[in-house]
Amino acid sequence: MFSWNVRKILFVSVAAAAMCCLVAAPRLDAASPETNTNIAFTAAGVFASSPVSGEDTLKLSGQQFTITIVGNTSDAPTKSGRNWAVFNPLLMTGTVNSGLIPDTPIAVSATTASFKQTVGASEDIIEAAFPVTVVGIPLQIKAYITLPGGTLSKALLLPFASVPLDSTSTVTYSNSTAATVLAVAGTPETPGGTIWTVPE
């Protein structure tokens, strides 16, 4: 069970939880971004009303989030393979909410976001993560999002059309002794939340 000052870790852990709900959207057929163009990937939604597993000590269940990760079309992957690529470190900013501080959006940011895209034959996969240390306790934030095959055209940082977040998307926040897995529930208007991209 988490035993540190929850208010202090809220800033970082909640940021990561929200960040990790990012997914990439279908490509624009006419998209031909210029070299060295910043692309802002923004995701917004609501976490499911109860965790998939673990104790939700940060009280993120049922709470809204908006998060943006900025990459550049000229960024080279830090690691890559035939059908996948990892980009880091990327800048992440946004706002999240917690039941510990009702009706108070919390500004969040990080400079070490990692973003991995895998293009598969039957499904595409997005993974986002970053480690943080708060009051001497290391935390790891991870998201694993499965998309229908063909959603991603390439494992690169490119603009995409707006698309709903999959309601099966999950994010995990953990330390060395405990982990909590949350799903994205969205809203009646956008059942799984939404992600969109905007060239800056």
CA within 13 Å, CB half, 82: 2
Residue 191 to residue 152: CA distance in whole angstroms: 21
- pTM for the predicted model, two decimal places: 0.74
CA dihedral (190, 193, 199, 200) in degrees, to 10, reads: 110
* 4, pLDDT greater than 50: no
Strand partners, 47: 184
pLDDT at 160: 66
Reported confidence tier of residue 41, pLDDT bands at 50, 70, 90: confident
The mean pLDDT value of the chain amounts to 73
Residue 173 to residue 143: CA distance in whole angstroms: 9
Single-letter amino acid code for the residue at 28: L
Question: What SS3 class is residue 5?
Answer: coil
For the ranges 1-10, 87-96, 101-110, the lowest mean pLDDT is seen at: 1-10
* 55, pLDDT greater than 50: yes
Single-letter amino acid code for the residue at 138: P
- For the chain, count helices (H), then strands (E): 1, 11
pLDDT of 116-161, one tens digit each?
988 888 887 878 887 654 334 466 778 787 777 777 778 888 776 6
Which residues are CB-contacts of 99 (< 8 A; sequence separation ≥ 6)? 59, 60, 61, 62, 63
Q: Which range, 84-93, 104-113, 128-137, has the best average confidence (pLDDT)?
A: 84-93
pLDDT at 25: 39
Cα 174 to Cα 17, 97, 128, distances in angstroms? 10, 18, 14
